[in-house]
Structure 1
Amino acid sequence: MQSHAPGLSDPSPLTHSWPLFERDHRFDLGGDFRWTGEAVDQALDERLLANQALGAWDCDLADNRLTWSPGVYDLFGLPRGASVSRDEALSLYAERSRAALDRLRAHAIRHRRGFTLDVELRPADGGRRWMRIVAAPVCAAYQAVRLQGFKRDVTCEYR
């Protein structure tokens, strides 16, 4: 995976995009994950992702409704279980990261491809954080209906 240092002119070339047949490889975190196309399994996060600065997430593309595991709330500096709209979540991204995410997200949905992207956050509880997003669409009848994946704190890689 290619990582980009802050200040580069294009933080997210489409080389971060990957085909869906690589999903198992990209999502392999040393656990046995069974993606069902449903929203995030909260119990999965509690058992396997606890204390890893990592969380699972899901976005229903019909209405952009977000489902986050506790680890994602922690990354964004928000209270666990709070109702968060996609627009509210995007407001916590640094401008360049938000633009890069929008571009890769649209590409992933249109072409049914996964992506990996490092983004800069301004968490609600203050400070600055770098987060790696690994995402893949869930498709029905050759149409992306959800995006889901993992978010991980990678701030230490940017110090």
Structure 2
Amino acid sequence: MGLRMSRLARWAALAALGFASVSVGAVELRGFRGVPWGAGVESLGDSHLVSAQGEVRCYRRERENLLYGDAPLREVRFCFHADRLVMVVVDAQVGPQALRGEFESSYGPPRVSSVSTALWGDSSTRARVEIDAPAANAPASMRMYSNEYR
């Protein structure tokens, strides 16, 4: 009985690891910094329009925290389509590795990774996240997209 239970316990542990690895790169973000996906512009509080392209309008909050973990930021933009939050853009003062390290500490390794780009999530997850930079040592950007509100 003890040997049989030991094998069963080992099989269960391996199965659990297998299921856990399936979720690598999955992102179930519900929004960003207290603003849920699908929320209206009024949920930002004091903010102002910083860009508009077609039906997408991006806003910057007046008193935004310009740190992401320990990574200093230049700007955080909340972007709305049809008055629903659909995307957040975080522009850093540091390269992609610093932002990636901060994001990985909460969400695990990316689904796709290269020297200057990392991707989490896909069309089956609540959100998708991309971190990239135009050059290896250039400041990075992180874009978070809602899959629920597009």
TM-score (norm: length of structure 1)? 0.30
Instruction: Specify which structure has the bigger relative contact order, considering alpha-carbon pairs within 8 angstroms and separated by 6 or more residues.
Output: 1
Higher strand share: 2
Between structures 1 and 2, the one with greater helix share: 1
Larger Rg: 2
